[in-house]
Amino acid sequence: MQVAAGAAAVAAAAALVMLLAGQPVPVAEQPPPGPQAVAPLNPPAVAPPASPAPSTVPPSTVAPSRPATPAPVTPPSPSPTPRAVPVTARLEPVGTLVRGRPGVLALTVIHPGQSGGTGGGSALPAAPDTGPLTAQVTLPRGVSLRAGPAGDGWTCAASRCGRAALAAGGTTRAYLPVAVSGTAGGEAPSVRLTAPRARTVAVTAPAGVQATGLPAVFAGTAPAALAVGGNSLLSCGGTSRTCGDARSGQREADNGDYHMTRYADPQAPAGYPYGAAVSAATIPVRGKVLWAGLYWSGTGPRPNEPVARLRPPGADGYVPVSATRVDTASGGDFGAVYQAWADVTSLVRGSRGGTWWVAVDKQAFKGGYNAYGGWALLLVVDGGGPQRTVAVFDGFTPLSRGASYSSPLWAVPGAASVGLVAWEGDRVLAGDRLAVGGAAVGGDNVAAGRADGTPAGWHTLGTDARVLPARPRSPALTASAATDAWLLGPVALVTGPN
């Protein structure tokens, strides 16, 4: 929180790196230090031997005298040059780099040296720091690095990112936001890491640009926590005698049992457009909002200008929010359906939570049997506590009956919270499952028409928005459907402490 939602709409990737960015540091490559100057080595002068004195002994009985040989002179050794620090580095996509979508690369650098201290009764010398770090980033054709802060003191410009020196025993992680064109090449990105007192390291990511997957729209390291809520915008018709029991969860039913029509909560504050669908969810916000995404989805063709209206707690009115990305799906067990989303971080930052209202125009969704419509608000907040890794992964994936879908995520080991948004799940049909890192999330009916922020038992009839616990063993996601077809939306993942 050391939080990732889609973003053409994913200009949200720019917000991802605002987490813990330190002061910008120069990214120009530092020149290596010159060789140490060594004074010339002149051996001390040796006096020549004196001539022998005349002897009184007859020459025939006296051995001739020889000059003394000077003792060998050992030149002084130059001061030892410190060994280069053997840093290690990793470069990984956060989720997947997908053509036509923004994405994030995580660069982790580790200084393995000791920071000094005592051991065995004697002082241990401290290893030197690395000196300023420079990462020269090489990206596939059609992929570009976004300039700006990248977390933990890193900042990027052009094709380089830089940071101040890394101390012995330290670890630093940069989240590098990238823009990926629709025609980007599939080569894997790479980084060449240099520093004045460290060995040069070259690393390559394990995967390049893909055609499909879950790209990150937000990622970082912070004392992160998730908050999620949502509600229906289509519901069972008011003329049905069993509709009230179905909404309250007292009757086993789903959206296939009713002719679904727009839902307008009679308690909604005035100010939304005439004839609009409107509903609420109570979402507490225990900390500063770091990132927020508003999603709305339902049956029907994609509107020409998808717009939702959000009324945060305590606001005087509804604020129009235009979608920055819209995904569509059709065929199989689904007619025409779409999901729209927008980054609303600036709109909700500063809120401490409460009742959130969302409205859409009456033509936003097409009603009928098996129709659905709803909204979800996904928040990453600074919840205090230890540093954690957080990412929001954007997606809109249809899962027909019997289908399965897998995609890499990205996380560090440890307990996790999963923020799930899903659509068209039925409470009376089980077998829809989600696993994160091999650990099951939400049981055998993960898409069951339940949303945080609604009354206990409330049946949203096709909208799921929840925070669920998990303990992933590896960074991957698998979603599957048995008898219940459903749609996987965005997934947020907080792991750690880091």
Predicted confidence (pLDDT) at residue 63 exceeds the cutoff of 80? no
Q: Report the number of distinct structural domains present in the chain.
A: 2
Confidence of residue 20 (pLDDT cuts 50, 70, 90): very low
Looking at residue 73, its pLDDT comes to: 53
Looking at residue 127, its pLDDT comes to: 86
Q: Do 191 and 231 fall into the same domain?
A: no
Predicted confidence (pLDDT) at residue 421 exceeds the cutoff of 70? yes
Q: Do 163 and 252 fall into the same domain?
A: no
* 288-316 per-position pLDDT tens digit: 999 999 999 999 999 999 999 999 999 99
Predicted confidence (pLDDT) at residue 19 exceeds the cutoff of 70? no
- Percent of the chain surpassing pLDDT 70: 81
119-134 mean pLDDT: 77
* Residue 14 belongs to domain spanning: 9-19+86-113+129-212
Instruction: Return the higher-pLDDT residue of 477 and 69.
Output: 477
Scored b (16 or more CB within 10 A) or e, 33-54 reads eeeeeeeeeeeeeeeeeeeeee
45-59 mean pLDDT: 36
Q: What is the rounded (10 degree) CA torsion for 404, 409, 411, 415?
A: -20
Predicted confidence (pLDDT) at residue 132 exceeds the cutoff of 80? yes
Among residues 271, 274, 292, which one has the least CA distance to residue 283? 292
Final residue before a domain boundary, out of 144, 177, 212:
212
329-348 mean pLDDT: 94
Q: What is the CATH number of the domain that holds 92?
A: 2.60.40.1510
Final residue before a domain boundary, out of 187, 212, 237:
212
Looking at residue 71, its pLDDT comes to: 52
Pick from 116-125, 402-411, 450-459, 468-477: least confident: 116-125
326-332 mean pLDDT: 92
Average pLDDT, the chain: 84
Confidence of residue 62 (pLDDT cuts 50, 70, 90): very low
Q: Do 267 and 176 fall into the same domain?
A: no
Taking CA atoms, 490 is separated from 113, 220, 380, in Å, by 40, 17, 13
Confidence of residue 64 (pLDDT cuts 50, 70, 90): very low
Q: Do 308 and 335 fall into the same domain?
A: yes
Residue 124 falls inside a structural domain: no
One-letter-per-residue 3-state SS of the chain = CCCCCCCCHHHHHHHHCCCCCCCCCCCCCCCCCCCCCCCCCCCCCCCCCCCCCCCCCCHHHCCCCCCCCCCCCCCCCCCCCCCCECCEEEEEECECEECCCCEEEEEEEECCCCCCEEECCEEECCCCCCCCEEEEEECCCCEEECCEEEECCEEEECCEEEECCCCCCCEEEEEEEEEECCCCCCCCCEEEEEECCEEEEEEECCCCEECCCCEEEEEEEECEEEEEEEEECEEECCCCCCHHHHHHCCCCCCCCCCEEEECECCCCCCCCCCCCEEEEEEEECCCEEEEEEEEEEEECCCCCCCEEEEECCCCCCCEEEECCEEEEEEECCEEEEEEEEEECHHHHCCCCEEEEEEEECCCCCCCEECCCEEEEEEEEEECCCCCEEEEEECCCEEECCCCEEEEECCCCCCEEEEEEEEECCCCCCCCEEEEECCEEECCCECCCCCECCCCCCCCCCCEEEEEEEECCCCCEEEEECCCCCEEEEEEEEEEECC
Confidence of residue 498 (pLDDT cuts 50, 70, 90): low
Predicted confidence (pLDDT) at residue 286 exceeds the cutoff of 70? yes
Predicted confidence (pLDDT) at residue 213 exceeds the cutoff of 80? yes
Q: Do 95 and 183 fall into the same domain?
A: yes
Q: Do 363 and 274 fall into the same domain?
A: yes
Residue 258 falls inside a structural domain: yes
- Percent of the chain surpassing pLDDT 90: 73
* 217-231 per-position pLDDT tens digit: 999 999 999 999 999
Residue 42 falls inside a structural domain: no
Q: Do 314 and 170 fall into the same domain?
A: no
Confidence of residue 192 (pLDDT cuts 50, 70, 90): very high
Residue 241 falls inside a structural domain: yes
Looking at residue 38, its pLDDT comes to: 31
Predicted confidence (pLDDT) at residue 159 exceeds the cutoff of 70? yes
Residue 39 falls inside a structural domain: no
Instruction: Return the higher-pLDDT residue of 69 and 142.
Output: 142
Taking CA atoms, 354 is separated from 123, 249, 284, 351, 377, in Å, by 56, 23, 6, 8, 12
Q: Do 367 and 424 fall into the same domain?
A: yes
d(C-alpha 375, C-alpha 413), whole Å: 31
Final residue before a domain boundary, out of 165, 183, 212:
212
Instruction: Return the higher-pLDDT residue of 450 and 25.
Output: 450
Predicted confidence (pLDDT) at residue 362 exceeds the cutoff of 50? yes
**Count of CB atoms within 10 A of residue 309's CB?**
19
The predicted model scores a pTM of 0.82
Q: Do 179 and 282 fall into the same domain?
A: no
Residue 472 falls inside a structural domain: yes
Q: Do 248 and 108 fall into the same domain?
A: no
Residue 259 falls inside a structural domain: yes
Residue 3 falls inside a structural domain: no
Confidence of residue 414 (pLDDT cuts 50, 70, 90): confident
Predicted confidence (pLDDT) at residue 57 exceeds the cutoff of 90? no
Q: Do 474 and 389 fall into the same domain?
A: yes
Q: Do 318 and 169 fall into the same domain?
A: no
